[in-house]
Amino acid sequence: MVLASQVSIPVTSDFEEGSGISSQSVKHSVVKRPNSESSSCSPVAAPRKRIRQSADIYVVKDGKPSYEKLQYLARELAGKWKTLSRRLGFNEAVIDDLDQANEELAEKAYKMLIAWKQKVGSEATYKVLYDNLCHELVECKDLAEQYCCDKIAGNASP
């Protein structure tokens, strides 16, 4: 049995009206998640046998992701880039422009992430990116943990 992810996050949220983007300040964020080998952002993940399960503990990074980190993330987003775009506050016209202007999925995702970073400036934090990647419509928690968190512990359990 796989337990649901546990999040212990003291958060204060401020919402800017009309922007579609929430700004959040975080003192400390801890995410505890079972280590599941079949966890993936891709639509199809092959089930695998698990001999044991471990609980990994992640801490959401402070600060803002670099352009290089965003480029690596974009390579793995694949077909989820449009859904993430909507979560980050982009309207359909902007998404369509990004879609038509770029041929490769990774490039579409990267250009969108750059536009997000430029649009919201200091609000383009790991925490905001983490929350949106984890959203039930995006379903990329594995990428959120890989790119937005530091792993601080892994506890093996029988």
Question: Tens digit of pLDDT for each residue in 108-122?
Answer: 999 999 999 999 999
Q: Contact 30/59 with Cβ under 8 angstroms? A: yes
* CA 127 – CA 61 distance, rounded (Å): 7
**Per-residue confidence (pLDDT) for residue 130, from 0 to 100:** 98
29-66 pLDDT, tens digit per residue, is: 555 554 444 445 655 444 444 444 567 888 999 999 99
pLDDT given at position 5: 42
Residue 49, token pair as written in the block: 């046998």
Give the per-residue pLDDT at 21.
44
Residue 70: count of CB within 10 angstroms of its CB: 21
pTM: 0.67
d(CA 113, CA 108): 9
Burial of 124 (0-12, 13-18, 19+ CB in 10 A): buried
Contact 157, 55 (CB under 8 A): yes
What gap in Å lies between CA 110 and CA 105, rounded to an integer?
9
Q: Would you place residue 10 in the very low, low, confident or very high pLDDT band (cuts 50, 70, 90)?
A: very low
In order of 75, 82, 112, 157, the CA distances from 98 in angstroms are 15, 10, 7, 45
Round to whole Å and give the CA distance between 120 and 113. 11
